[in-house]
Amino acid sequence: MAGIIELKNVSFAAQDRLIVDNVSCAFEEGKTTALIGPSGSGKSTVLKLAAGLLVPTEGEAAFRGKIIHDMNRHENLVFRQETAVVFQDSALLSNQTILQMMELPLWIHFPEMSAADRRRRIQEVLQEVGYKRDISIRPSQLSMGEQKLIAFAWALMCGPKLLFLDEWTESLDDSGANRLIRLVERFQSEKKTVIFVNHDFKIIKRLSDYIVMIKDGKISSIFLREQIEKDDNLAHLIEEGITS
C-alpha cells in the first residue's frame, strides 16, 4: 500500500561520504513511525529526506505520490502547509522576535488572515506547548528548553497533517517533555501522521505504530509496536540498538 511519504531507493552523500544508502520505505498515513538507530546511523538524514529538506543523491522522495523536488510552486506550498518539522537544534530565526517568527507561516499560507486572528492563533499554540514568556524577545534570550517549546509551537501554526520530529523532547524537563508527548498523542487521535527520531525507548514504545531500525545508513529492520510489547528480548535488542 502506498504511504503518505515514500522513499524509493534513496541515497544521500555529503563531503564524499555516503550517509543514506538505498533506503526504500513507505510511511502509512495516520500512523506514527519512529526512526531509531545508534548515533551517526543516518536516521536524522532519512527524516530530512522524507521531509523534502534534502535532495536525494539518488532515488526519489514522494508526498502523496508526487516527487517532492519536482513539485511546482503551488504543490510545494500545499506540501509545506500540510507538513511541519521540529529540528533537534530548534532552528529558530535569530534575527526575528518570537512574534515575528510565529506570524511568518500564517502570512505565507493564510495571507487573508487578520492581525487579530494571527495573534489569537499564536497565543493558542503557545498556550498548548506551555510557553509563558514575552513574545517580543528573540530566541537567543530563551533557554534551550524554551527554544524547543517555541519550535514545536511554530510547527503547529498552520495545523499540519504530518509532523516530522527530530529529538523534539531533548533539553526539556519532564513536565515540558510530557506536555509535548501529550500533544503528539492528540495529533495521533486526530488520525494524523507522525515520523520521529528519538533515543528514549519509553517514548518510542509509547508513541510508535512502526519502528524502523537504521544502521550504517540502511534500514536493517522494521517492527510493529505489538512485537516489542510481546517480546522482551526484542525490546531489549532495540533498546540496545538505540544507545550503542
The answer, yes or no, to whether residue 237 has pLDDT greater than 80, is: no
The ranges assigned to domains in the chain are 5-243
State how far the Cα of 125 lies from the Cα of 156, in Å rounded to an integer: 7
Question: Averaged over 53-77, what is the pLDDT?
Answer: 95
Give percent above pLDDT 70 in the chain. 98
The answer, yes or no, to whether residue 241 has pLDDT greater than 80, is: no
Q: What is the pTM of this model?
A: 0.93
Give the CA count within 13 Å in the CB-facing half-sphere of 128: 23
Superfamily of domain covering 5-243? P-loop containing nucleotide triphosphate hydrolases (3.40.50.300)
The answer, yes or no, to whether residue 238 has pLDDT greater than 60, is: yes
* Confidence grade of residue 1 (pLDDT, cut at 50, 70, 90): very low
State how far the Cα of 118 lies from the Cα of 122, in Å rounded to an integer: 6
- Determine the 3-state secondary structure of 169 from DSSP: coil
The residues facing 83 across adjacent strands are 162
Give pLDDT tens digits for 88-127: 888 999 999 999 999 999 999 999 999 999 999 999 999 9
Edge-to-edge strands of the sheet including 66-67?
17-27, 5-14, 58-63, 66-67
Q: What pLDDT, on the 0 to 100 scale, is given for residue 114?
A: 95
State how far the Cα of 196 lies from the Cα of 163, in Å rounded to an integer: 8
Give pLDDT tens digits for 196-229: 999 888 899 999 999 999 999 999 889 888 888 8
Give pLDDT tens digits for 22-48: 999 999 999 999 999 888 889 999 999
State how far the Cα of 135 lies from the Cα of 126, in Å rounded to an integer: 10
- Determine the 3-state secondary structure of 6 from DSSP: strand
Query: Is the distance from CB of 96 to CB of 138 less than 8 angstroms?
Result: yes
Rounded (5°) CA angle 76-49-97 = 65
Rounded (5°) CA angle 51-140-114 = 65
Higher-confidence residue of 162 and 15: namely 162
Question: Averaged over 72-85, what is the pLDDT?
Answer: 95
